[in-house]
Structure 1
Amino acid sequence: MTSRGFDTTPEGTWKMHGNCENNSRSNKWIQRRIIFVAAIITIAMSLVPFRVAFLKYRYQNKLLDTLLSNTEGTLKVEPRRGTIYDRNGKEMAISVWKDSLYANAKEIEDPDKLARKLSRILHVSRGLLKKKLESGKSFVWLKRHISTRERENVSALNEKGLHFKKEYLRVYPYAALAGQVLGFTGVDGHGLEGVELFYDSYLRGEADSVSVLWDALRKPIAKSVLSENNPVGSSLWLTIDSQIQFYAQKELKRAVQQFDADSGEVIVMDPNNGEILAMANYPPFDPNRYRYVSPERWRNRAITDCFEPGSTFKVVLFASALEANLFKTRDIVYCENGVFRVSKHVVHDVHPRGWLTVADIMKFSSNIGAVKIGEKVGKKRFYAWIKKFGFGERTGIDLPGEAEGMVRNPREWTRVDMAAACFGQGISVTPLQMTVAMACIANGGKKVVPHVMKKIVSPAGGILKTFSDQSPKPIMKPATSRCLKVLLRRVVEDGGTGVRAAVSGYTVAGKTGTSQSYDTKTCSYDKKKGTASFVGFAPCDEPKFVIGVFIHNPKKACYGGVVSGPVFREVCERALLYVGISPDTKVVRAKKNSGRNKKVSYTRVSRL
């Protein structure tokens, strides 16, 4: 009988009982397997402590080293660059913390979109940013030394893959003051120009390493270690006086603009030890913005550029003549009424004159008188004195890029070449060389080495280095120097070419210079281009300063006494008052009475 599909036959009952027996055996087998696996796991787990103990005992040091290598390490720390001070302790160059932005390009999801956002914030080309963000590199700089506002705006984006890094930024608090002397550093903190380059090894210091803990992304956990323990470079103290430097740059700018000149330099130096107190260039240069100006502006033209000195070079000629006792200051020379033929060329004087004393040849700056003196001095002696004064070779100043100038061998000189050299043409010098030459006369006949470094101080406060000049080298007799001082003093008196350089209340000595520039294209001198210069010193008896003023290609006037003389006067007067040297009323009265009841006697006549 069948009910609802169940088989009630004996055969069906037998089949149902068989299935139950099979199920029971299967369940027992599964239970045994579970018990077996659990037993194995239990045994294995019970062995873990023993294995850990074994590994700890056997490989403890090795495992610890592996762990530490992944979580601890050393990080190279760049030193903070040393500070540059002027001679009075004013900070001329300092280093400050600044944020820089970099990216892990592997983490950037949408480079194009992010580049568009960053370009508006950082003011960097969108294409350049996109290229960097698509580079696939784990580290790529986006912008170095960003501003506080830029950091805030970038942080507000909350974009994955953007990171900040603290770096040092070199800052020059006085902007363009002594910019060409200071020079500048690159984004990596290495000196590239000026004293920043010359003394880079001292200022930069030595990198150090610190122990840090890394996180999973290999970033230092203890960030404070990087700022608190940074090494510091040595500090540099300059001979530059920022106040005198300011006077020099101010007056130089006024003169260049007044006479519509191309450029100019002013050098203020202590003639007794060679310390450079000011070295001004125009156009000026702000090292904070070196990337935004032409590299020509970086150049310190006071030491790198050469020019033909003109009549300031007559001091070398007169030194050679007086030292050899070939002339006395009261000897007279016939100056040919302003026109003198040398071979096929004609030498002119601005103001035609007949007989002049040697002293008046200097005072009125007669080219013809200088040529006649030079013919008696001779090429060999004159060349020897040119080399004695240091022309044709570097002065040895501690600044990069100094030029040697150009002095040809006298064997190559023709009579015309010799004549031209007597009034400073056909020879090229740097402004510094001409200033150093005048210092030799000011200090009694000794040649000094100019320098801008006063001392280098270690981070601990010890003095590492000072300027140790070999004792100044005498190149002329003190009597010759005294005689030249008298002649140069008359240049700034009434009737002299340098009268506009006279400083009321002080005794001043110096020489004017007006030269033409040689045009290599036309192989001739360009009458519209040249250098107007004045080099002098004060006070005359005990010189405190020697000052050289050089203005190139002035268009509204060309004479050194007119263009550069007033610059000398203003800078000299301000500098003397600044260091506490008061004017002497006796000097003022003496100038008012100069030329009255003066008797002149001549001991010898020289007509060449």
Structure 2
Amino acid sequence: MKRSPSSPSRKLRASPGNNWTTNRRKLVLGLFALAALGIVARAVYLQLIDTEFLQGQGDERFLRSVEVPAHRGMITDRHGEPLAVSSPVDSVWAHPPTLLANRERLPELARLLGMTPSELEAKVLSREKKEFMYLRRALEPDAAARIQVRAIPGVFLQREYRRFYPSAEVTSHLLGFTDIDDDGQEGIELAWNSTLQGVPGEKRVIRDRYGHTVDEVESVREPQPGRTVTLSIDRRIQYIAYRAVKAAMLEHGAAAATAVVLDVQTGEVLAMVNQPGTNPNDRGAIRGDLLRNRALTDVYEPGSVMKPFTVAMGLESGRFRPDTPISTSPGHMSVGRYTVRDTHNYGLIDVTRVIVKSSNVGATKIALALPAERLWDLFRKLGFGRTSGIGFPGEQGGWLAHYSRWSTISHANQSFGYGISMTPLQLARAYAALASGGVIRPVSLVKLDRAPEGERILSEATVRKLMPMMEAVVSRDGTAIQASVAGYRVAGKTGTVHKIVGRGYAKNNYYSVFAGFAPVSKPRLAMVVIVDDPKGKSYYGGLVAAPVFSKVMAGALRVMNVPPDNIVDPRLTPARPVMASTTAPAAAPATAKRERP
């Protein structure tokens, strides 16, 4: 009997489609198992064998090396009083992606930074793909604290240092200033930058994903603070000079004024003051013309203050003595096709009166009686025509043409301070050489442990003869009674110099100059004062610059406890101001032509 095809006892055959599905399932499961096994094996390898890899990856995300700022060295005066210090401040920086992700906080942050929200947003958007940007450098402590309290995401504080100058304008021309990164830009800050500037340190810290430091891991390198620079400046004398110079400039409506005070025994600069000036603590007020150190960077034709050197040359030659007669009649003399003039006809006078009366004719006759090389050689030994080597940025050397290029009128002009230019520091150094008995020393802006060796350029005998002549200038019979200092003998010389305008000399624009030293019995301080273009009738050196010298020298000698050497000298009693007719300067050179390189 045949079975029905639909009988349940019939065996089912496996179809090819079912086999493929089963195999595919097994393959997928096998691959998953193999991948899982690989992951487990990799995890075991990284966790137990190659542990440095994961550690490194973690470090890259959270461990950072950050710079530790170094403290810039102080600048002090010779007594250790601070003139420039670096104080800690906070700067605000941001992580732009995080800050932009919290735009609703931008108006609040902008208000704290003193910006508009649109300005801040534009600033951040310009660096939106960066990891770091400064928002504001060197904030005031209160402002930084307010920002820190707000805890705005992506905004952080960074400790830095900002330079502060306690004496402000008083020392501004000398010290210069630093930039926002505390690097020296001008003056002593620039000249001694490598000494003052410290070496930053480095440390490793752990930061979270918001940039906050959560732990300090290790110190890689300790910061090395900058070294202190001790200047030769005496802050007390600097302030005395500052007040006197500023008062004179304002009183006479001058364009500028400068004063330099040197220690005769060491060559150290005790004060160096310029006007006009500004406060370097106010970065918005810093301008080049207000911080220019005119005592070193500006050159002037010195005028009659050079006559003592001309006379010294004559005395040194043996051809002249203090009482050697010189005829200055009729108050002028011809030199080739030019004329040298005095303000008055002094007639027959001796060499001493040439200085006391500031006679151009007398100085010319002394100079022309000797070879030009003699005067040039003395000027060169005094340091004119080259920088002093003091190391101040931008120092000028002035101009001294070689004697072989002097014409006869040039030779004459040199004898009373025209056709030659110098800085106030160079002139002060030359007067210090006279004060030290004919020995010239290097000048220094840093405090010295001992006095440097000097070079003798004039004999002591010559200087002994010259000093009474210069002392007579600071008397009622001379042109600088207002330079006198009660209780002290003072020697010096006035100068009233026509300024150069274009290729000639201005008729009514002058430099008022006084250079001198005290006390005469044992000179300790030398000083130069130059007032640029005083207005009004009082423009003579004896009326404008000499009173500044008197005020500063009086204060400086007392500050330094220098014993008086002329307590009862009647010449130092108050006297009426010398009339302009008796203090008239040597006339401008007969020629406007100057020797050029």
Global fold match (TM > 0.5): yes
Check whether the contact 1:440–1:447 (CA below 8 A) recurs between aligned residues.
Answer: yes
Q: Which has the larger radius of gyration?
A: 1
In 2, distance between residues paired with 1:551 and 1:439? 20
Q: For the structure 1 residues 110 and 61, does the alpha-carbon distance in structure 2 shift closer, same or farther, using more than 3 Å as the test?
A: closer
Pick the aligned partner of 1:212 from 205, 210, 228. Answer: 205
Among candidates 561, 580, 587, match of residue 542 of structure 2: 561
Contact 1:513-1:560 within 8 A present in 2 as well: yes
Counterparts of 1:451 and 1:222, CA distance in 2: 49
Change (3 A) 1:472 1:128: farther
Cα deviations across residues 153-184 of structure 1 (Å, max 9, x unaligned)?
Answer: 54566543322211111111121121111111
SS at match of 1:321: helix
- Corresponding position of 1:572: 553
Question: Do the aligned partners of 2:77 and 2:233 also contact (CA within 8 Å) in 1?
Answer: yes
Please tell me whether the aligned partners of residues 531 and 550 of structure 1 are also in contact (alpha carbons under 8 angstroms).
yes
- The residue type paired with residue 526 of structure 2 is V
SS in 1 for 2:84: strand
TM-score (norm 1): 0.83
The 3-state SS of whatever aligns with 1:365 is: coil
- Are 2:527 and 1:535 equivalent residues in the alignment? no
Q: Distance in 2 between matches of 1:325 and 1:260?
A: 45
Question: Paired residue for 1:600?
Answer: none
Aligned length: 550
Deviation at 1:48, TM superposition (A): 8.5
Task: Work out whether residues 480 and 493 of structure 2, in 8 Å CA contact, stay in contact via their aligned partners in 1.
Answer: yes
SS at match of 2:300: coil
The answer for the alignment partner of 2:16 in structure 1 is none
| TM-score normalised by L of structure 2 | 0.84
RMSD, aligned α-carbons: 3.3
Distance of 2:54 and 2:299 partners within structure 1? 69
Q: Are the counterparts in 2 of residues 244 and 575 from structure 1 also a CA contact under 8 Å?
A: yes
* 1:499 equivalent in structure 2: 481
1:413 to 384, 403, 406: 406
Q: Deviations over 1:190-246 (max 9, x none)?
A: 1011111111001002222223334345554346989x9543111111111110000
Contact 1:111 1:130 in 2 (8 A): no
Partner of 1:545: 525
Work out which of the residue numbers 355, 361, 364 in structure 2 matches 1:368: 361
Judged with a 3 Å threshold, the aligned counterparts in structure 2 of structure 1 residues 66 and 275 are, in CA distance, closer, same or farther, namely same
**How far apart, in 2, do the equivalents of 1:47 and 1:418 lie?**
100
Q: Sequence identity of aligned pairs in percent? A: 31
Report the 3-state secondary structure (helix = DSSP H, G, I; strand = E; otherwise coil) of the residue aligned with 2:282: helix
Partner of 1:513: 495
Q: 1:93 aligns with which of 59, 84, 98?
A: 84
Name structure 1 gaps, 5 residues minimum.
Answer: 1-13, 15-29, 455-465, 595-608
Distance 1:109-1:337 versus aligned 2 partners, 3 A rule? same
Counterpart Cα distance in 2 of 1:173 and 1:376: 54
Q: Which residue of 2 aligns with 1:445?
A: 438
Residue pair 1:193, 1:400 contacting (<8 A) in 2 also: yes
Distance 1:334 1:62, change over 3 A: same
The structure-2 alpha-carbon separation of the partners of 1:392 and 1:516, relative to structure 1 and needing over 3 Å to count, comes to same
- The CA distance in 2 between the partners of 1:467 and 1:66, in whole Å, is 57
Structure 1 residue 305, shift from structure 2 partner? 0.3
1:37-116 residue pairs with structure 2 within 5 A?
A: 54-68=45-59, 70-109=61-100
Measure, in 2, the Cα distance between the counterparts of 1:175 and 1:558. Answer: 30
Per-residue CA deviations over 1:111-151 (Å, capped at 9, x if unaligned) read: 99877665554345777544321111332222211123433
Within-5 A mapping of 1:296-311:
296-311=289-304
Partner letter of residue 559 of structure 2?
A: Y
Query: What is the identity, as a one-letter code, of the residue corresponding to 1:574?
Result: G
Q: Tell me if structure 2 keeps the 8 A contact 1:534–1:548.
A: yes
- Is the 1:111–1:133 contact (alpha carbons within 8 Å) kept by the matching residues of 2? no
CA-CA distance at 1:431 after TM superposition: 0.5
Larger mean Cα displacement after TM superposition, 216-225 or 102-111: 216-225
Q: Distance between the aligned counterparts of 1:416 and 1:428, measured in 2? A: 16
Q: Decide whether the 8 Å contact of 2:475 with 2:571 is kept in 1.
A: no
2:460 paired residue number: 478
Instruction: Look up the SS of the partner of 1:488 in the other structure.
Output: helix
Cα gap change, 1:329 to 1:126, in 2 (>3 Å): farther
Counterparts of 1:233 and 1:218, CA distance in 2:
30
